[in-house]
Amino acid sequence: MGKTGEVEHGRELIEFADASVARSASLPAARQTVREAMGPKELVDAAAIVGNFQRMVRIADGTGIQLDEIAEVPSRAFRGRMGIDEFASAQGRGSH
């Protein structure tokens, strides 16, 4: 599919990441698309990155890590627009 922005195979990677995180029925097809576009080793790298980000979020949620001011202030507007602060995992987060 080519480039999305400045990332080669960006569209395929985004579709793969979205399907992985959502545990979507489209995951097998997205996985195959990445494999065909980039190769099997790159698919493993992409899967490892998705898994690593999931792990980091779960650790942060589990420990109740709060956003520090450098992340909380600039993200406040888009978190509100997207409803992120309404998620159960966001309760008790932010600057206090």
Q: DSSP letters of 43-61?
A: HHHHHHHHHHHHHHHHHHH
d(CA 51, CA 79): 23
Residue 47 maps to a domain: yes
d(CA 16, CA 96): 36
Residue 92 maps to a domain: no
Give percent above pLDDT 70 in the chain. Answer: 86
User: Which pLDDT score is estimated for 42?
Assistant: 97
Predicted confidence (pLDDT) per residue in 8-50, tens digit = 999 999 999 999 989 999 999 999 999 999 999 999 999 999 9
Total structural domains within the chain: 1
Residue 96 maps to a domain: no
The whole-model pTM stands at 0.64
Residue 93 maps to a domain: no
For 72, how many CA atoms within 13 A lie in the half-sphere containing its CB? 12
Give the burial string for 17-30 (b: 16+ CB within 10 Å, else e): bebbeeeeeebeeb
Q: Which domain holds residue 63?
A: 3-87
d(CA 71, CA 69): 5
